[in-house]
């Protein structure tokens, strides 16, 4: 089958599939303080079929996300089934999960045994009180720390810890996270805050930029940039003594849309071609109407042709995405 490529010549090799938009945290940069999800979850068999069709079209990396994916009963079995899929060249897929880590301590080993290779844990402070202020849920910090350590112990590697920096909440955590990366032997990645939150508090001033992160971290220890693939979203650094890796994902101040290789499926089975899409495409609706795998593939190919060239964050013509992050799957 022809490789999946958009009209700008970007190969689409990376799938992010959300398996629920429920979440047990209410992070200030993501959700409102209210409970609840918007969309019903689909059966895992449907996510598996969508994934299988996309893998047949050239997807090599599958990231399972949400909402909070570990809340969903059956996720371990889903990982096991995804791990059985083979890309066109017969190679095993690169399978990862993005999680808030709350339930990871008990699930790291079964997930690893099921075929998960890597995990990214979101953690926005290395201080329990600050952590609770950001997640808007009491407690949790110890669970997440235990989850990170369990993931490391069972060999879910490379282990990345993602921290979204939001001015007024956690920009003073930059140096503590530098220390954390060195002490825990994990890759800490700072992410610039994007206008994808439910509370609609984003403004350029709330973004802690790559330049500011580098400047603040240099007050602790010098960082040395690591050469990276052009398609990598993160700029990578290690400290001058070679201990501790830091990544910075800077979609606002240094966009990387030109190398975007991603397609997303939401928990209700819609395709999104960009985080900032103002529409989505009803793949699951087509499945419900009895489409064959070939018809699904043809639909996907047409949708990918409409993938946006780039986002317009901070520009006068910026139009907010039609969904917030928790309902897309980050």
Residues β-bridged to residue 165: 192
Residue 250 near residue 207, CB atoms below 8 Å = no
In the block, residue with structure tokens 């089934």: 81
Choose one: 48-56, 186-194, 204-212, 237-245; the region binding ligand SAM (CB under 6 A). 186-194
Q: Interface with ligand SAM includes 191 (CB under 6 A)? A: yes
Q: Interface with ligand SAM includes 325 (CB under 6 A)? A: yes
Judged by beta carbon, residue 87 or residue 162, the one nearer ligand SAM is 162
Minimum CB–partner distance for residue 142 and ligand SAM (Å): 17
Q: Interface with ligand SAM includes 162 (CB under 6 A)? A: yes
Backbone φ and ψ of 18, nearest 5°: -95, 135
Q: Interface with ligand SAM includes 266 (CB under 6 A)? A: no
Minimum CB–partner distance for residue 197 and ligand SAM (Å): 4
Site for ligand SAM in 206-265 (CB under 6 A): none
Encoded tokens for 285: 């609706």
Q: Which of 51, 100, 266, 267 binds ligand SAM (CB under 6 A)?
A: 100
What distance in Å separates the CA atoms of residue 125 and residue 102, rounded to the nearest whole number?
14
Cis ω before 255 (30° cut-off from 0)? no
Judged by beta carbon, residue 53 or residue 156, the one nearer ligand SAM is 156
Encoded tokens for 18: 């959300």
Minimum CB–partner distance for residue 196 and ligand SAM (Å): 4
Cα 256–261–70 angle (5° rounding)?
Answer: 100
What distance in Å separates the CA atoms of residue 243 and residue 274, rounded to the nearest whole number?
35
Q: Interface with ligand SAM includes 68 (CB under 6 A)? A: yes
Residues β-bridged to residue 99: 121
Judged by beta carbon, residue 57 or residue 166, the one nearer ligand SAM is 166
What distance in Å separates the CA atoms of residue 41 and residue 26, rounded to the nearest whole number?
19
Radius of gyration of the chain (CA): 19
CB atoms within 10 A of CB 168: 10
Minimum CB–partner distance for residue 2 and ligand SAM (Å): 31
Q: Which of 12, 17, 19, 23 binds ligand SAM (CB under 6 A)?
A: 23
Minimum CB–partner distance for residue 109 and ligand SAM (Å): 20
Encoded tokens for 130: 């600050």
Residues near ligand SAM (CB under 6 A), total: 20
Minimum CB–partner distance for residue 183 and ligand SAM (Å): 21
What distance in Å separates the CA atoms of residue 249 and residue 256, rounded to the nearest whole number?
9
Minimum CB–partner distance for residue 44 and ligand SAM (Å): 17
**What residues line the site for ligand SAM (CB under 6 A)?**
23, 29-30, 65-66, 68, 98-100, 122, 162, 164, 191, 193-194, 196-197, 325-326, 330
């Amino acid at each position: 089958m022809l490789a999946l490529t958009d009209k700008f010549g970007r190969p689409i090799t990376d799938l992010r599939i959300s398996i629920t938009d429920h979440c047990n945290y209410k992070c200030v940069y993501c959700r409102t303080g209210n409970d609840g999800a918007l969309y019903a979850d689909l059966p895992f068999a449907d996510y598996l079929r969508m994934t299988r069709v996309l893998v047949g079209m050239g997807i090599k990396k599958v990231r399972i996300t949400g909402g909070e994916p570990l809340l969903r009963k059956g996720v371990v079995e889903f990982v096991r089934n995804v791990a059985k899929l083979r890309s066109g060249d017969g190679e095993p897929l690169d399978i990862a999960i993005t999680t808030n880590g709350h339930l990871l301590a008990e699930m790291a080993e079964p997930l690893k045994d099921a075929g998960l290779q890597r995990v990214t844990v979101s953690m926005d402070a290395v201080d329990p009180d600050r952590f609770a202020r950001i997640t808007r849920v009491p407690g949790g910090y110890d669970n997440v720390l235990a989850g990170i350590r369990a993931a490391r112990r069972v060999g879910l590697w490379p282990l990345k810890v993602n921290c979204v920096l939001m001015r007024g909440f956690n920009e003073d955590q930059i140096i503590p996270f530098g220390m954390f990366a060195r002490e825990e032997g994990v890759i800490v990645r700072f992410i610039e805050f994007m206008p994808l939150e439910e509370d609609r508090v984003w403004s350029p001033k709330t973004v802690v930029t790559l330049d500011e992160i580098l400047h603040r971290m240099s007050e602790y220890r010098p960082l040395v940039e690591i050469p990276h693939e052009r398609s990598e979203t993160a700029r990578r650094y290690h400290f001058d003594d070679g201990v501790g890796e830091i990544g910075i994902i800077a979609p606002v101040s240094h966009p990387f849309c030109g190398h975007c290789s991603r397609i997303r499926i939401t928990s209700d089975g819609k395709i999104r071609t960009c985080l900032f899409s103002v529409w989505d495409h009803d793949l699951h609706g087509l499945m419900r109407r009895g489409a064959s795998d070939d018809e699904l593939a043809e639909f996907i190919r047409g949708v990918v042709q409409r993938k946006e060239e780039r986002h317009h964050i901070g520009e006068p013509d910026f139009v907010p995405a039609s969904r917030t992050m928790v309902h897309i799957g980050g």
